[in-house]
Amino acid sequence: MEEATIDEAVWSSVIEGAFTSKAEAARIIRQNKSPSNKSEQMVKNNYQALLYLARRGARGWLYGNGEIYTAVCGKGEITFPARADGILSVFCLGELAAGVTIRGAHYSVENAVLTPDFPLGCSNHFIGRPITVSVERGDLLLGLHEVEE
């Protein structure tokens, strides 16, 4: 699912006029590298925009190719309405996300610690119940993915 997250950053940026590759987007996002050109900056801006809104109590959404992304920041919570199917992925944005809880999904998580290289929240499934995701400290990127038939 990390690949899908990077795809979304690239896709949204290309729509805005960026010329970049998935490999370059991954480098910028995973390693928190400074962009070296306008296209790389567009990729990073999509992630930063979600965090900016979330840290101010607003909710931003990135849409593209059957996927939707949003962010939840420290002491934050979101509940997604019940769905018969679909996939929810939860990624750490930054060094650490602590006190991560996922309830109502196929796999529940209580008070977990996520890091960028430990994607515990990937590919969780909707099972007809609302899903609530919360974090006590740190930032999360949440991705909703349609199930392909």
pLDDT digits (tens, 9 = 90+) for 126-137: 999 999 999 999
Q: Say if CB 84 and CB 131 are below 8 A apart.
A: no
Q: Which residue has the tokens 């059957």?
A: 66
Alpha-carbon distance of 59 to 70, in angstroms, equals 7
What local confidence, expressed as pLDDT, does residue 21 receive?
A: 60
Give the residue-averaged pLDDT of 92-120.
89
8-state DSSP, 32: T
Prediction pTM value: 0.75
> Looking at the predicted structure, is the pLDDT value of residue 59 above 70?
yes
pLDDT digits (tens, 9 = 90+) for 24-56: 665 666 666 677 777 777 777 887 888 888 889
Alpha-carbon distance of 43 to 115, in angstroms, equals 21
What local confidence, expressed as pLDDT, does residue 116 receive?
A: 80
